[in-house]
Structure 1
Amino acid sequence: MLRRRGLLGLATAALMGVSVGSAAPTVAAPAAVPEYQIKVDPAGRGVEISDRMYGIFIEDINFAADGGLYAELVRNRSFEFLPADNQSYTGMTAWTAGGAGGGAGAAATVDDAGRLDERNRTYLRLDLSNPDGGRFGVTNAGYNTGFALGAGERYDFSVWARTDAPGGTPVTVTLHDADGAALAAPLALSVRGDGWAKYTGTLRATRTTDRGRLSVRAAGTGTLRLDMVSLFPRDTYKGRPNGLRRDLAEKIAALRPGFIRLPGGCLVNTGSMYGYDAASGFPRARSYQWKDTVGAVETRATNANFWGYNQSYGLGYFEYFQFAEDIGAMPLPVVPALVTGCGQNRATDDEALLRRHIQDTLDLVEFANGPVTSTWGGLRARMGHPKPFGLTHVAVGNEENLPDQFFANFQRFRSAIEARYPDITVVSNSGPDDAGGTFDRLWELNRASDVDMVDEHYYNSPTWFLQNNARYDAYDRAGPQVFLGEYASQDNKLLNSLAEAAYMTGLERNADIVKMASYAPLLANIDHVQWRPDLIWFDNDESWGSTSYQVQKLFMNNVGDRTVPTTMTGPGSQPQPITGRIGLSTWATSATYDDVKVTAPDGTVLFGDDFSTGAGAWTPVANRGTWAVVDGAYTQSDTAAQDTMVAAADITATDYDYSVKATKNAGAEGFLVGFGVKDSGNFYWWNLGGWNNTQGAVEKATNGGKEIMVAKPNSVTTGTTYDIRIQVRGTKVTLFLDGQEWGGFTDDRVTQPFAQVVTRDDASGELIVKVVNAQEKAAVTRVDLGRLRVRDKARMTVITGDPGEQNTRTAEPIQPVTTTVDGIRSAFTWTFAPYSVTFLRIKTR
């Protein structure tokens, strides 16, 4: 489908003072005195940048695999959907039973001893009643609106089947639309014998649609059993059977990622507490086990995905490793550490289960790298890849909230892996946030144990990224290296992408400590969104890159081999004191607040409310929940309502103390006490008993995105009244709980909308000047390359536009525009457009 694009390129060129056309563009005379200066030290030796600097993180969230990257068109192909996956599921989810030509029968999903495979438990039973013609069977609706088919394209059908009809059972396979109109010539099969066998055929689509249906119907009488009903486009990525959806795989390959972190974060380490039932051999609760994802697809288990749906494992470890090899990326698998994260707090006490998972990890390395004569290397060879995949890194765990328990298990995994495979780098992690008690404790443990690499994760506001460009400047160069395995700014607009771009200049400047980084999540099905922002969006027949995709692609395709030292000067800003309204809030909890008071340091009362005369001073910030004065106190009574903030008293003083008494009545969490409240998207709150009553933290919200300022384990007791006091002194906040100091922070960071880094591409002999201007005014900049001799022409790529713009299914306005520009000298002045990221590739002589 054609998309609207192109006008942005002309606008960008005009804004940059560059002409567009067949002739080489020229740089317009600067309109103002430079505010910024970038001074390059061409003789200085910067840090080397790894070939694996930027990569991707694949997790089956947002229907990223099934219904997405995995090219299978049939949903619930093995009839394994169950309420354990999702309460709305049954074995017939996505299927409907019915007849054609007067056909009749009955359809039911069955789990018995006649199953296709011990790990493929459920199949479809059709009891046929068609002695005089007619057919009966089932129709699959696929994902989204239906099957996406292209006129003239071929689709490979397969099914495992058996019948007790003595003469066999004729089966007709058809592609049609929702009204029954044919989309391909029918495929005729004859199922014979009461043992499972695979039947295959090809259908060629006669027209293009995104609303196709697949029907499998049978004539005659008797019982027909079906399993693994599959339809694959022949045109998969690189034409591989059981392969990947080509447009999505090509968009990923176009990023040129250096690594693939797989197969997820939360879906790996959650559910991993459970072992196997001795009698059946099945997991007591289905959890991610890599061994379930390899071998013939009909023998692979399915999974109750952490994100609330069924995961087929058709896209398993073999396919992930093969895809990594196809696109030149390093695979980096994540294995469960038997301590949960992602909002859960459990650690295994099952020693046998822990030992089994450690052995499974050793077996995974053997599957990737072992000789064909080994057990798991032999399986890899039988799957079609006798050559080792060359695995070099294994990550243990993901976002664990119990640091000491996690690290004890991590050490056992690490010792076992290093003893057998000393060349494998074992990656640890630092929990789910960029700061806080868990983060600090895990870094302390990782440093003390001389861990090679630590995986950091954070999702923060654009402001946070613009304030933390120097985050890694002060990291200990003698300590562990950093793998930034998950990060993103909390929305999908251009402003978010520019904030990420500014931050990435700091990653490159610190490439000696930050060895790898991957935006997350990678993929999102537009009709099944569980997390945003996301890098690549799709429906059943289209895909489009977000603004962050375009920025990531620009960086990933223009990394360079090493940084060139630079200094940058320009206008700065000052930290702002924390002022604004005070707030009260709850999250899935009923709570009562009383005796609210705000005082100056000298004791002067700035605001007070004991609710004896009602709550007239308070107004909703988020109009949710049920607030009322009850027995002389202010109560929010709805235990289902989330984010129920009310606020009062605009505090303009820079130094003040805010105190309140709080009592939890019922519900899942504790209290949220707001301060510095500007509006529903900009505030601070002290979250006590958050994350299912496991952690306390101060979160700062900026334009709807939140970041952690301070955090540590915490819970509150129902029925207990707590004295809460928040002391604000300009930008410094100290927190008191029941008269004891609980924690504190200083928010004195300033937003830096202008960021830069310069790298050198040894092969091309080019300097790559990378500049981000994430503000509404143009940045007139003096660029001084020292005594370096350069050619006067350079290749310039710019991404710019409205900061609130985003790419969607109907239009992708944010695109890179590349031109050739004149006027490059050893020192030159350049005007960088508002809200832009600009790459100048400058040839040296």
Structure 2
Amino acid sequence: MSSLSRTTRWRLGLGATALLTASALLPSPAHAEAAADYTITVDPSARGAAIGDTMYGVFYEDINRAADGGLYAELVQNRSFEYSTADHASYTPLTSWTADGAAEVRDDAGRLNERNRNYLSLGAGSSVTNAGYNTGVHVEKGKKYDFSVWARAERGTTLTVTLEDAAGPLAKVREVAAEGAWRKYTATFTATRTSNRGRLAVATTAPAALDMVSLFPRDTYKGQSNGLRKDLAEKIEALRPGFLRFPGGCLVNTGSMEDYSEASGWQRERSYQWKDTIGPVEERATNANFWGYNQSYGLGYYEYFRFAEDIGAMPLPVVPALVTGCGQNKATDDDALLKRHIQDTLDLIEFANGPRTSEWGAKRAEMGHPKPFGLTHIGVGNEENLPREFMARFKEFRAAIEAEYPDITLVSNSGPDDSGATFDTAWQLNREAGVDMVDEHYYNSPQWFLQNNDRYDSYDRNGPKVFLGEYASQGNAWKNALSEAAFMTGLERNADVVQLASYAPLLANEDYVQWSPDMIWFNNHASWGSANYEVQKLFMNNTGDRVVPSTATGTPAVSGPITGAVGLSTWATSAAYDDVRVTSADGETLLSDDFSGDASRWTHTGTGAWSVQDGAYVQTDTAAENTMVTAGDPSWKDYDLHVEATKKSGKEGFLVAFGVKDTGNYYWWNLGGWNNTQSAVEQASDGGKSTLLTKAGSIETGRAYDIDIKVRGRQVTLYLDGEEWGSFTDDKPAEPFRQIVTEDERTGELIVKVVNAQDTPARTAVDLGGAKVASKARVTTLAADQDAVNTETDTPVTPVRSTFSGVAGEFTYTFPANSVTFLRIRQR
């Protein structure tokens, strides 16, 4: 693929508001004496990889209430009474509503339209009250809020609309005269008090039908109607993202084979249909979200394209490939359905780029955007577990799109993990097919990110480019962000291969969390950036245009043999374990338990229900996850572990642990994981997991398996029923000191970026290789305790801007412990 287009839009540096007179961030003399010594050598005469404007972007998915109750500014929850048990087992059409009097949700010929099926029939003298999101409807004193409702009513009907909390009114009561067929009615509130616990109520004097009950803040992002929540949109804009990937990952491709069928009559569509998300909001469908709630589609494809344009980002939509991923394994054999989705993708390109005289371009123009959006990239599929089936369908998408739109770049993917059989097969097929770009996803421990800075050093420079579409270390503490920063220096060094990268997920409502960690957190009245957000913002605002080659000394590696106790666990599964033996390398028996008596040698550290039954240790709770029990000495090394295991019932297989230090640090062999589709060795480090080895395979119920694990030094060999299953050596160092140097061509500055992810300051000799530079550098530093976490009320991870006056061709700088530091040095 040709290199991405370039502008100077994003090369704005640390900002004109940098505190240039602040003192330099240097440790105290006492700390300096304890500093570790490093060197950084820069070669300004050499040319590294060019960095495209779209190097870093954001990945948006409707997870953790990221849309309704989040970025979409609507304050009323379940505004069109469409909540259903299809969304969540606890939902009804009146979820988040309280009725006083005669109120009934109906789905009949009196509905507002065919897409908006449900409506509320309200009796004379009755009312309904909406609870909003989180603690309620949030309003701020002096600000305006626009109410609207679609109503059908008898002549002389008055709708009384109130906004109040437990302490009383939050605004003046509004009365709306309604009569006749369905019609939209509006009113405006001006809040007289600030409250996070507001309630919106609608009462009627006569029988009336209501739908699309809405309350929007007037002050949306850029003042747009049907707009976005301002504080969240501005936090995303402040990242200066080069691209916006939407509308999600798993919610895109799951359910894509359960589409609407005219033969079966109307039904809720299970997959994400972009055409359902455009046009007047009252005519858009709602849908069950993969993550367990309802999505209204008020925030739809038009709004995504508009938002990308507003923040100057390249739009990158993702469409389903008719092969499920995200722990599911299914590929469509319905050729007509596949062709329909391909045509939908062609129509999407026309909607984005077509002239206003085209069918879909006209729909875009009708919505208020006559000018094309300039779509250049589309992702097809997401985390498919069936790479061969996926590639066959991807090729059909590509052939159809290339025939009509040869300039569109199609993005393929490599499955849900950073390695393993699926990953390797997917990459082989992508290379053979000559795809332009491959989307990689992985969520790993901080240690993995510190160990894998060189991941892309060995990638084929002439092969497909990489879109790192989802990545994060498993946590929102500063240590997680530090490890990601260290990894990002490797992404930039390999910018000729990794051309797009985005942390994920982007947003999380603190009261509705399906996935953690997340970049930006919020509730109904406030939002805050995580430590990870601050790292992403620093890199995204100071990327540079080209890598200036540099090298650095490393940290002396300290390693020894794998040590630890042993453990047994299950995940949503009942299993029985027997004949556990641990034997040292010289034949000494360290542990032997046939459970003929009790289980007193075992310590229960997780959930679940363990008991000795019929001479075996049995876990019976099929809902419990990670039911770990452990035995032995954390200092054990060089041993053989034998276990007999039998699955009794449930979704998965066995988890046999070794090298167990504590509840957050261990290895385990996960047999029959991921809904009993594959097995892997995972390493837990400070609670975060990384996959070291993986293979496809499942575990049979009722069959006894012999499991043997041989630990020698840092080498581990695994045997299943006497046959070697696999082996690995865990000897890669987790380097805490990483650097990258880039050049901002617009300002002529060198940007020296250093990550010091250790508790010791790093006293560093910097050699700029003869570059002529000014004596002062602008400095931005992020530094905090490794366990620090940003919250609504406390943000210990905050950028500090300063100047450093000791810059020369060769100079020394001490980088604080647990820090990310950017020095912008002007060249003369």
**Superposition TM-score tier, normalisation by shorter sequence:** over 0.9
1:577 maps to 561
Q: How far off is 1:284 after superposition? A: 5.7
Q: Does the 8 Å CA contact 1:798/1:839 hold for their aligned counterparts?
A: yes
The C-alpha deviation readout for 1:285-322, integer Å capped at 9, x for no partner, is: 43211111001101100010111111000000000000
Query: For 2:57 and 2:659, how far apart are their aligned partners in 1?
Result: 38
- Of 680, 696, 710, the match for 1:713: 696
Q: How far off is 1:28 after superposition? A: 12
1:625 maps to 608
Query: What SS is found at the alignment partner of 1:570?
Result: coil
CA shift in 2, pair 1:34/1:824, >3 Å:
farther
Which 10-residue stretch deviates more, 752-761 or 396-405?
396-405
Q: Is 1:74 matched up with 2:76?
A: yes
Query: For 2:528 and 2:199, how far apart are their aligned partners in 1?
Result: 24
After superposition, residues 191-206 of structure 1 pair within 5 angstroms as 191-193=178-180, 195-206=181-192
Q: How far off is 1:707 after superposition? A: 0.9
The C-alpha deviation readout for 1:26-64, integer Å capped at 9, x for no partner, is: x99975787110000010001100100110011111111
CA shift in 2, pair 1:667/1:29, >3 Å:
closer
Q: Is 1:453 matched up with 2:437?
A: yes
1:173 maps to 161
2:51 maps to 49
The C-alpha deviation readout for 1:178-215, integer Å capped at 9, x for no partner, is: 35x2211222211121x211111211111111111111
- The number of residue pairs the alignment matches comes to 809
1:162 maps to 152
Q: Does the 8 Å CA contact 1:32/1:780 hold for their aligned counterparts?
A: no
Q: How far off is 1:141 after superposition? A: 1.2
1:151 maps to 141
CA shift in 2, pair 1:492/1:787, >3 Å:
same
The C-alpha deviation readout for 1:720-765, integer Å capped at 9, x for no partner, is: 0111112223222222211222222221111100000000000001
After superposition, residues 611-690 of structure 1 pair within 5 angstroms as 611-622=595-606, 624-650=607-633, 652=635, 654-690=637-673
Query: Unmatched 5+ residue regions in structure 1?
Result: 1-8, 19-26, 99-104, 129-134
Q: How far off is 1:281 after superposition? A: 5.0
Query: For 2:825 and 2:594, how far apart are their aligned partners in 1?
Result: 67
- Of 171, 175, 178, the match for 1:184: 171
Query: For 1:14 and 1:621, how far apart are their aligned partners in 2?
Result: 47
Query: What SS is found at the alignment partner of 2:630?
Result: strand
Q: Does the 8 Å CA contact 2:437/2:465 hold for their aligned counterparts?
A: yes
CA shift in 2, pair 1:308/1:620, >3 Å:
same
Q: Does the 8 Å CA contact 1:35/1:570 hold for their aligned counterparts?
A: no
Q: Does the 8 Å CA contact 1:684/1:701 hold for their aligned counterparts?
A: yes
Q: How far off is 1:652 after superposition? A: 4.7
Q: How far off is 1:283 after superposition? A: 4.3
2:4 maps to none
1:22 maps to none
TM-score (norm 2): 0.95
1:699 maps to 682
- Of 782, 793, 796, the match for 2:776: 793
2:111 maps to 115
Query: For 2:699 and 2:485, how far apart are their aligned partners in 1?
Result: 40
CA shift in 2, pair 1:804/1:652, >3 Å:
closer
Q: Does the 8 Å CA contact 2:555/2:735 hold for their aligned counterparts?
A: no
Query: What SS is found at the alignment partner of 1:192?
Result: strand
Q: Is 1:124 matched up with 2:127?
A: no
- The letter for the 1-side match of 2:551 is T
2:229 maps to 245
- The letter for the 1-side match of 2:645 is A
- Of 187, 197, 209, the match for 1:211: 197
- The letter for the 1-side match of 2:121 is R
Query: For 2:149 and 2:436, how far apart are their aligned partners in 1?
Result: 47
Q: Does the 8 Å CA contact 1:615/1:629 hold for their aligned counterparts?
A: yes
CA shift in 2, pair 1:124/1:651, >3 Å:
closer
- Of 476, 482, 497, the match for 2:466: 482
After superposition, residues 482-521 of structure 1 pair within 5 angstroms as 482-521=466-505
CA shift in 2, pair 1:631/1:17, >3 Å:
closer
- Of 390, 394, 418, the match for 1:434: 418
After superposition, residues 750-761 of structure 1 pair within 5 angstroms as 750-761=733-744
Query: Unmatched 5+ residue regions in structure 2?
Result: 1-18
TM-score (norm 1): 0.93
After superposition, residues 111-510 of structure 1 pair within 5 angstroms as 111-128=107-124, 135-163=125-153, 165=154, 167-179=155-167, 181-193=168-180, 195-219=181-205, 221=206, 223-279=207-263, 282-283=266-267, 285-510=269-494
CA RMSD of aligned residues (A): 1.9
- The letter for the 2-side match of 1:138 is V
Query: For 2:304 and 2:32, how far apart are their aligned partners in 1?
Result: 51
2:712 maps to 729
2:89 maps to 87
The C-alpha deviation readout for 1:561-598, integer Å capped at 9, x for no partner, is: 00000011133204442221111111121111122223
Q: How far off is 1:650 after superposition? A: 2.6
- The letter for the 1-side match of 2:117 is R
Query: What SS is found at the alignment partner of 1:502?
Result: helix
Query: What SS is found at the alignment partner of 2:618?
Result: strand
Which 10-residue stretch deviates more, 209-218 or 478-487?
209-218
Q: Does the 8 Å CA contact 1:769/1:841 hold for their aligned counterparts?
A: yes
The C-alpha deviation readout for 1:367-386, integer Å capped at 9, x for no partner, is: 11111111111100100111
Q: Does the 8 Å CA contact 1:30/1:830 hold for their aligned counterparts?
A: no
Q: How far off is 1:136 after superposition? A: 2.4
Q: How far off is 1:85 after superposition? A: 0.7
The C-alpha deviation readout for 1:441-460, integer Å capped at 9, x for no partner, is: 11111111111111111111
Q: How far off is 1:413 after superposition? A: 1.3
Query: For 2:169 and 2:593, how far apart are their aligned partners in 1?
Result: 71
Query: For 2:268 and 2:231, how far apart are their aligned partners in 1?
Result: 38
Q: Is 1:533 matched up with 2:517?
A: yes
After superposition, residues 534-553 of structure 1 pair within 5 angstroms as 534-553=518-537
- The letter for the 1-side match of 2:692 is M
1:23 maps to none
Query: What SS is found at the alignment partner of 2:596?
Result: coil
